[in-house]
Amino acid sequence: MPTRHKCCFAGCDKTSQHPDVSLHRFVVKPADIRDQWLANSGNASLFSLTDKQLHDRRVCSTHFLDNEFDYPGIGKKTPKRGAIPRSLIIENNIVPSEQQLEVAAEIPQDAQVDSLDSNACLPSTSLSVNSTSMRNRKPRRKPVSLSRENLTLKFQLGRSRRKVKSLAQKLRRSENRIKELSKEDLIEGASKYIWGKNLDFFKMQINHSNQRQWEEDEKQFALGLYYKSPKAYKYLKDIFNLPCLSLIYRWVNNINLRPGTNQLFIEQLKLKLESKNFMEKSGVLMWDEIMIKPGLEYNRKIDILEGFEDIGVELDDKPRKSNGQQEIGEPKVSDFIATHVLVFMIGGLIYDWKQPFFYVPSAGTVSASKLKILIEKVIKLAFEAGFIIHHMVCDQSSSNQSAIKKLGITLENPSYKFEDHDISFGFDAPHIFKSIRNTLINNNFTVEGKIVSWVPLIQLHELQKGKSCKAAPKLTEHHVKPKAFEKMKVKLAVQVFSNSVGAALMTATLNKEIGLNDADLVIAAATADFCIRLNRIFDCLNARSFSDSNPYRKGLSESTRVEDELNKAVDWVNTIEDNSQSPAFKNLLITIKGILLLWSRLKSKGIRYILTSRLNQDKLENFFGFLRERCGYNNNPTLTQCIKNMQYAVLVTLLVPPVGTNCEADQARLLISNFNSYVKDTSGEFSENIDRQVEDWFARNDAHLESDQSTLHTTVTENPTEDINTTQTTPDTALETPSLERQTKKYIAGYLAYRLNNKHHCTDCFTKYTLNDKLQLDTCDDTLLFFKAYPSVQSDVFGSLNVPSDLLFNVILACYEVFDRAFQENARIKNISAFFYALVRDEVIKKFPTFWVHDDLHHEHQKCILESFVYLQLKYRAKWISKDIRDKKRKNFETSAAKPNPKLMKLSQI
């Protein structure tokens, strides 16, 4: 057996085949350790070997104690540095006695040399131990023959050890490779298994372990998550690497979308569209209104009261105000509180994208004359921004139909001319079919001389009721006997006019399972054919994929039958007679002709096909659903909420409608998603003419202010959409007489002193504006303070509340007086807090010169008091007006003869 597979110590028969025995190389460095190994080996032949030959010899583990080994890996051990093997075999980790070691060490002196030379001669006499040591040595153990089973186990054990050793080596190499991997390598490896948003989220965890700028995709992901649920975002922020909340707020505030024209937004769109080609810029203009909750809210960021109508166009309508005053065109903000928001959106015609473009809040539905002006204005702005508008679409509201007529769009020519561009028009197809369903419920149609009725559809439902197998499984009681709100759902209408219902009804008619006589069977057959034909038309007008298995949903192309079917539909619809005066079939004809006209123009420009689903309002309906689902679901957001949500919508691409919305989901992306390039709108910045406005107001009202020193309070008008100017002012006839309002004003004055002290900690101002001695009630104006105060351990009757000094109280009374008179006239101006601050400041300087100290330090403190007063007034007056409007509506519902409908009250913004 080779020397490297057996122990070289004298008297040791251990080999590599022995179980639980490991062989270790003979140590040759340092020399003193080598000499000790040689001396203990008892093998004289080792002395003649060179260091290289000696290093190739092996010593078994039985010559070492267990504590003399290191364990560098799994299943591996090596002697510690400096370990000396014993000459005798150590069994069961038992150290040999000193007598045994002495016997084993009896080696001739000439064998123990200090140094060995490779050319030195060995002693001529053989080395031997004395007879005593030979008698004491254990007899050599004969090899034991193993059974076949044990040999198999021994082989498996050896193979397992080698496998463990190999796996340990692989593990060490893998760990080293992982340590050497870069972030780019990790991301590249992960991209084989995850993609899309999952990969973006993985990148966020890898790249942002240290501070680093967030990418655009990462910003959109974070904004979308925060929009869905701020609470969930805050929870996940503590676990994962996500942008902090201050960054979220900053990104949203980078864009300031105000009603009407946003020139900076238009300029950004121009830059975005410069690199787009004709097909990418081709779009469809759509508009619709969303109902909002009427009321006012103070927007501190841009310093205005939000909630007023803001059309922004010159109007020629008749006045709606009781005093006969005309509505104003410029400045934009009118006197009416908004209840609707009219939104214009541009959707992609060839490529699938969408962009909210223009919106205006209005008091009620926008009239036809205003709407016509707005449509023309939006089309002009869209072309200026770089869009190419080919088609327009809206619903069938009366104002929309009148505005379309004013634009010159007719049944014979469903097109609008803007400069050198021809823009086709069509109504929203799903809403047309809803209108047809609602008309058919109460009226019969005559189609090609045959009567079409709703009765056979009810009979079909009754026929299927209780059956275990239904030919029209989606047909339910909600479809054939819809209630008030079910009539508003497009989904139920389209499912009635489906191929399945038509086929089931036709089959039941041929089987004579429907109707009482032959006339009923004729009506049922005509109704079934009516459903089938309407289903084909709807499929042609709602194509979403060129590869759809339904031949009528493949879109307009020269290779499909959609164009032929639409041409046949025009002739078929012309045969329908409807005595209900419903415009549904006329609008259906306008829509079909408008789409065919659009297709003929696009074919001449090399467009191979268009998907007709992009010619309806689903994108806009999805957008409205997105606005309503902010932080849960809000059916009627306020104007401030609606504007804020629009800013989120412009920045976030997760525009998926909530479940149950009145439209189909679309996968269109927002055209603009890079919000680093936005610049804030400057419309909310302070005007340079504030002081001049204040001087003009004082010039008009000085005489009246001097003659009337009473305190005023405002009451809201009966009509919630009435002009804010119709609020009436009622004087408090005796200011010196105790009143709850006067005592509340004193409490507010003490609160302002408290805020001043908390912010600036000025002892001089606190002493000047509060009373130090609060041991008793000095005046009747202190009664409210006394009852609002919590009991104090001291003798102070006012507890921890601050009692304002007479100077501060009189200053606040003067501020209330001038604020009450000016609020009704100036509630709609921009920079409203700056205006009212200048107003009350000038009034205080004029009436209380001792209050206004002109040193820099105390001037800042006085400014703090007046600014806090103005902010509190604007915030709470807007809130009170909104509450009064909703309370008035609720009262009207509760006092009505009919039982209040909770859902109707919800839709009425109550």
For residues 106 and 890, which has the higher predicted lDDT (pLDDT)?
Answer: 890
Among 42-56, 73-87, 140-154, 754-768, the minimum mean pLDDT is found in: 140-154
Q: Give 540's contacts (C-beta < 8 A, 6+ positions apart).
A: 552, 553, 562, 565, 566, 569, 612
Question: What is the pLDDT at residue 266?
Answer: 86
In DSSP terms, 69 is beta-bridged to: 79
Q: Is the pLDDT of residue 567 over 90?
A: yes
Residue 850 token pair? 């001792």
Alpha carbons 485 and 635: distance in angstroms, whole number: 15
Q: What is the mean pLDDT of the chain?
A: 79
Residue 628 token pair? 């309503």
Give the residue carrying structure tokens 């490529």.
351
Report the SS3 class of residue 678.
coil
The stretch 247-266 carries a mean pLDDT of 80
Q: Is the pLDDT of residue 319 over 60?
A: no
| Beta carbons of 826 and 725 less than 8 angstroms apart | no
Q: What angle do CA 596, 598, 600 make, to 5 degrees?
A: 70
The stretch 405-432 carries a mean pLDDT of 93
SS (H, E, C) 164-224: HHHHHHHHHHHHHHHHHCCHHHHHHHHCCCCCCHHHHHHHHHHHCCCCCCCCHHHHHHHHH
Residue 795 token pair? 């003798």
Give the distance from CA 26 to its chain's centroid. Answer: 70
For helices 856-895 and 740-760, the axis angle rounded to 10 degrees is: 140
Q: What are 134-139's contacts with CB under 8 Å, separation 24+? A: 136/100, 136/103, 137/11
Give the residue carrying structure tokens 């975002």.
233
In DSSP terms, 298 is beta-bridged to: 305
Return the number of other C-beta atoms located less than 10 Å from residue 887's C-beta: 13
Q: How confident is the model at residue 612 (pLDDT cuts 50, 70, 90)?
A: very high
Alpha carbons 164 and 394: distance in angstroms, whole number: 73
Among 273-287, 663-677, 724-738, the minimum mean pLDDT is found in: 724-738
Question: What is the pLDDT at residue 683?
Answer: 42
Question: What is the pLDDT at residue 107?
Answer: 45
Q: How far is CA 889 from CA 754, 894, 899, in A?
A: 38, 9, 15
| Beta carbons of 500 and 474 less than 8 angstroms apart | yes
- Buried-exposed string 131-146: b where 16+ CB fall within 10 A, e elsewhere: eebeeeeeeeeeeeee
| Beta carbons of 745 and 812 less than 8 angstroms apart | yes
Q: Is the pLDDT of residue 596 over 70?
A: yes
Alpha carbons 276 and 876: distance in angstroms, whole number: 48
Question: What is the pLDDT at residue 904?
Answer: 52
Q: Give 503's contacts (C-beta < 8 A, 6+ positions apart).
A: 471, 528, 532
Q: Is the pLDDT of residue 125 over 70?
A: no
Cis peptide before 456 (omega within 30 of 0): no
| Beta carbons of 593 and 422 less than 8 angstroms apart | no
Question: What is the pLDDT at residue 388?
Answer: 94
The stretch 805-830 carries a mean pLDDT of 87
**Pairing relationship of beta strands 304-306 and 297-299 according to DSSP bridges:** antiparallel
The H or E element containing residue 351 is none
Closest CA to 534 of 419, 440, 663, 641: 440
Alpha carbons 402 and 417: distance in angstroms, whole number: 17
Alpha carbons 876 and 305: distance in angstroms, whole number: 11
Q: Give 69's contacts (C-beta < 8 A, 6+ positions apart).
A: 61, 77, 78, 79, 80, 83
Share of the chain above pLDDT 70, in %: 76
Q: How confident is the model at residue 884 (pLDDT cuts 50, 70, 90)?
A: confident
Q: Is the pLDDT of residue 33 over 70?
A: yes
Question: What is the pLDDT at residue 361?
Answer: 92
Report the SS3 class of residue 294.
coil
429 burial (CB, 10 Å; 0-12 / 13-18 / 19+) is buried
Q: How confident is the model at residue 899 (pLDDT cuts 50, 70, 90)?
A: low
Give the residue carrying structure tokens 């069961």.
92
Closest CA to 307 of 348, 279, 335: 335
Q: Is the pLDDT of residue 109 over 90?
A: no
What secondary structure does DSSP assign to 567-626, as a single string?
HHHHHHHHTEEETT--SHHHHHHHHHHHHHHHHHHHHHTT--EE-GGGGSSHHHHHHHHH
Q: How confident is the model at residue 890 (pLDDT cuts 50, 70, 90)?
A: confident
In DSSP terms, 343 is beta-bridged to: 288, 359
Q: Is the pLDDT of residue 102 over 70?
A: no
Q: Is the pLDDT of residue 391 over 80?
A: yes
Residue-wise pLDDT tens digits, 613-669: 999 998 898 888 878 876 566 777 888 888 888 877 776 644 344 444 555 555 555
Q: Is the pLDDT of residue 523 over 80?
A: yes
Question: What is the pLDDT at residue 341?
Answer: 92
Q: How confident is the model at residue 773 (pLDDT cuts 50, 70, 90)?
A: low
Residue 394 token pair? 């809206």
For helices 518-541 and 455-464, the axis angle rounded to 10 degrees is: 90
Among 329-343, 368-382, 506-520, 615-629, the minimum mean pLDDT is found in: 329-343
Amino acid at 562: V
Give the residue carrying structure tokens 């864009």.
255
**Pairing relationship of beta strands 340-348 and 556-557 according to DSSP bridges:** unpaired
Q: What angle do CA 207, 212, 213 make, to 5 degrees?
A: 110
Report the SS3 class of residue 806.
helix
Alpha carbons 816 and 747: distance in angstroms, whole number: 13
Report the SS3 class of residue 355.
strand
Q: How far is CA 2 from CA 58, 89, 627, in A?
A: 10, 21, 85
Return the number of other C-beta atoms located less than 10 Å from residue 2's C-beta: 8
Q: How confident is the model at residue 671 (pLDDT cuts 50, 70, 90)?
A: low
Count of CA atoms in the C-beta half-sphere (13 A) of 835 = 27
The stretch 357-382 carries a mean pLDDT of 92
Give the residue carrying structure tokens 């009804």.
505
Closest CA to 224 of 580, 536, 669: 669
**Pairing relationship of beta strands 282-291 and 388-394 according to DSSP bridges:** parallel
SS (H, E, C) 101-153: HHHHCCCCHHHCCCCCCCCCCCCCCCCCCCHHHHHHCCCCCCCCCCCHHHHHH
- Buried-exposed string 449-475: b where 16+ CB fall within 10 A, e elsewhere: eeebbbebbbbbbebbeeeeebbbeeb
Question: What is the pLDDT at residue 712?
Answer: 35
Residue-wise pLDDT tens digits, 775-810: 555 567 777 777 777 765 554 556 667 888 888 888
| Beta carbons of 124 and 104 less than 8 angstroms apart | no
Residue-wise pLDDT tens digits, 715-759: 333 343 344 433 333 334 344 567 888 888 888 888 888 888 888
| Beta carbons of 446 and 437 less than 8 angstroms apart | no
Reported in sequence order, the residue ranges of 221-274 that DSSP labels E, i.e. its strands, are: none
Give the residue carrying structure tokens 């004003």.
745
Among 38-52, 260-274, 885-899, the minimum mean pLDDT is found in: 885-899
The stretch 580-604 carries a mean pLDDT of 92
In DSSP terms, 893 is beta-bridged to: none
The stretch 257-284 carries a mean pLDDT of 86
| Strands across the sheet containing 353-362 | 415-418, 421-427, 388-394, 282-291, 340-348, 353-362, 669-670
Return the number of other C-beta atoms located less than 10 Å from residue 307's C-beta: 30
Q: Is the pLDDT of residue 591 over 50?
A: yes
For residues 116 and 777, which has the higher predicted lDDT (pLDDT)?
Answer: 777
Amino acid at 647: Q
| Beta carbons of 127 and 44 less than 8 angstroms apart | yes
261 burial (CB, 10 Å; 0-12 / 13-18 / 19+) is middle
Return the number of other C-beta atoms located less than 10 Å from residue 251's C-beta: 22
Closest CA to 843 of 689, 686, 709: 709
